[in-house]
Structure 1
Amino acid sequence: MSQNIKKVYDKYGLFLILFLISSFFGILNNNFFSLYNIQNIFKQSSINGLLAFGMTFVILIGCIDLSVGSILALVGYFVGIMLVTFKLPIALVLPLGLILGVFLGSLNGVLVAKTKLQPFIATLVTMTIYRGITLIVSNGLPVRNINNVSTFMKYINRGEIINLPISMIVYLGVFAILWFLLGKTVFGKHLYATGGNEEAARLSTVSTNKIKIIAYSVSGFLSALAAILYAARYNSIYPNAGQGAELDAIAAVVIGGTSMSGGKGKILGTLIGALIIGILNNGLNLLGVSSFYQEVIKGVVILFAVIADRKKLGL
């Protein structure tokens, strides 16, 4: 009986948690299930979810990426300054921003794969460097009124299709692509193999260094895409944008069931995990809980998720 319960929980546990948390906040606050608030949750979840998707790729290979928030800030500032100050066309700025994200992510991959630095140390260094560059080029000042100079950015923020925000549609579209990439392609199999047993994967002709660089490049690309959604939503970019975003991204990944040891996990779990984090943030804000306490709560959630992961592995 206990084994059957465990199988059911492993399959549907995340959906049960999502239902219980939503019900809890819905009972305590009548505005929680309003259309406006649900759209707000979707918009916030799409930004964190994109970062978490990239983090999933990196964690699946047994690594970590602490620089996602700094990449968001740097790419966001680049996009903002190109649009507001230099008046460049959006059709040029957005591709350049995405390319910049890929470049920054690939630098992380090269540091990890080629110099053999520990992923934690390598991305801690780049997190600091990328944030420092943002502060230097911005002189500590924000870029404002981004949507005022770009109708496309305004549309990303306010546009809807069947009551779904554009950011959420982009988010679900990316999810579908990544789901196919991880589950239906040779690259996905090589990614899981690298995280499960890197030496065995290498001996079976998998180019593990290449897989690592690609995984970090994907993380950089998705961080850049999140930066575009962030800039559109808040109509500005501050140099400290995305500070601490890596915590929410990691939380979404581990809550979603991806093993911190690598090799095990699904992108669907991350999708639900990001939604759970979004609901937690939104619900606690509606209840007037201090942001200081919210950080503690998220830290505790990550702790329990990691402990559960270790128990699954028998550690």
Structure 2
Amino acid sequence: MAAPTHGARRDAGKAVSARLKELLPPATVLGPVMALLAAVIFFSTQSDRFLTGQNFSLILQQVMVVGVIAIGQTLIILTAGIDLSCGMAMALGSVVATKFAVDYGLSPYLAIPCGMLVCIAIGYLNGALVTSIKLPPFIVTLGTMNIAFAATQIYSQAQTVTGLPEAMTFFGNTFRLGGTSITYGTVLMLGLYVLTYLFLRETAPGRHVYAVGNNPEAARLTGIATGRVLVGVYMLAGLCYGIAAMLSVARMGVGDPQGGQTDNLDSITAVVLGGTSLFGGRGSIVGTFIGVMIVGVFRNGLTLMGVPSVYQILVTGILVILAVAADQLTHKKG
């Protein structure tokens, strides 16, 4: 039998290399994955309680609200935008839903969609202002953040809504998987990440999101209705904030008008740590989930080590600066 030629060996090598590239995560995700693994290894050496199923379930419970908000934030940042109103939109949606159910006696199965519609309306307002008046997303969402905060305080009279029906706290309930208690809200969050991954990867509208973020003028010239894409993205993000409001109510057991005040920065932190570029057009929802887990793991691990919360905020700030600096260098290099 004849020995394989040099060209055949080269082609085989290329095939093996291509196969390995398919198996490895994208470059934008590989860095966050390594950071997450390093954090897990470090904290597992610092506390015997860290590397347990129950503790990881607790981490997922702690990040499920911000994790769902971060899905909407990812969609917006992929279009080179940003949303500062997400936390306040969530708070307003939660107060509207809970007051409709408690004060007005509306069925929770109708009250919850009402809260979600409020969040979607805020998303539509953001998208309409960005596309029609051409205002910067930062300024638009800064304004709607303040509007939503004021509306929440006025409508609730700064009072927490209690006495919720059981249906509104369902996603805070747990079930057993092996010896670990897992909340239904955690399952919902993971399901939303899977759906968003399929949307961005397998559908034309999902690819349009990347196209608009990468080069809106080129996208327009290819026939993509960039205005509709942006408005749709902001409305989808609003839906995510509405779902997050439902999860927040389920986890806390109340409608809290003071909630969500740091969730905008927490969600941006998770998205940036996950490798999504602030310049738009580059990133993935998988990276966002890893970014959410990095934040959750650091805060949980530092708490188990007895580190005061102020230092947890310090570490998170350092991580964000490093991630943005890496994004900036990559953008310039590109």
Q: Residue in 1 aligned with 2:13? A: none
Please report how far the alpha carbon of residue 62 of structure 1 lies from its aligned counterpart in structure 2 after TM superposition: 0.4
1:157 and 2:175 aligned: no
Between the aligned partners of 2:66 and 2:300, the Cα distance in structure 1 is: 13
Q: Which runs of 5+ in 2 are unaligned?
A: 1-23
Residue 202 (structure 1) aligned with residue 220 (structure 2)? yes
For 1:154, the aligned partner's letter is T
C-alpha separation between the residues in 1 aligned to 2:313 and 2:129? Answer: 30
2:278 is paired with a residue whose SS is coil
- State which of 195, 200, 206 in structure 2 corresponds to 1:177: 195
What residue number does 1:288 align with? 306
User: Which stretch of structure 1 is more off in the superposition, 7-16 or 131-140?
Assistant: 7-16
Q: Which runs of 4+ in 1 moved over 6 A?
A: none
Q: How does 1:256-275 map to 2 (within 5 A)?
A: 256-275=274-293
Q: For 2:25 and 2:174, how far apart are their aligned partners in 1?
A: 38
Alignment correspondent of 2:156: 138
CA distance in 2, matches of 1:161, 1:227: 25
Q: Percent identity, please.
A: 35
In our comparison, the structure showing a higher alpha carbon Rg is: 2
> Which deviates more, 285-294 or 97-106?
285-294
Identify unmatched segments of 5+ residues in structure 1: 1-6
Distance in 1 of aligned mates of 2:191 and 2:225: 28
Give the C-alpha shift of residue 161 in structure 1. 5.8
Aligned residues of 2:92 and 2:118 also touching (Cα < 8 A): no
> Cα RMSD over matched residues?
1.9
- The amino acid of 1:158's aligned partner reads N
Q: Which moved more, 1:83-92 or 1:199-208?
A: 83-92
Query: 2:76·2:82 contact (CA, 8 Å) conserved in 1?
Result: yes
**Structure 1 residue aligned with 2:262, among 231, 244, 251?**
244
Alignment partner, residue 125 of structure 1: 143
Contact 2:276 2:287 in 1 (8 A): yes
8 A contact 2:88–2:148 mirrored in 1? yes
Q: Against the structure 1 CA distance between its residues 106 and 8, is the aligned structure 2 distance closer, same or farther, given a 3 Å change threshold?
A: closer
Q: 1:127 & 1:185 partners in 2: Cα distance?
A: 31
Deviations 1:231-262 (A, max 9, x none): 11011232220111111101111111111000
Per the normalisation by structure 2, the TM-score is 0.87
The residue aligned with 1:29 is 47
Q: Residues 76 and 233 of structure 2 are in contact (CA less than 8 Å); yes or no, is this contact kept in structure 1?
A: yes
Aligned counterpart, 2:18: none
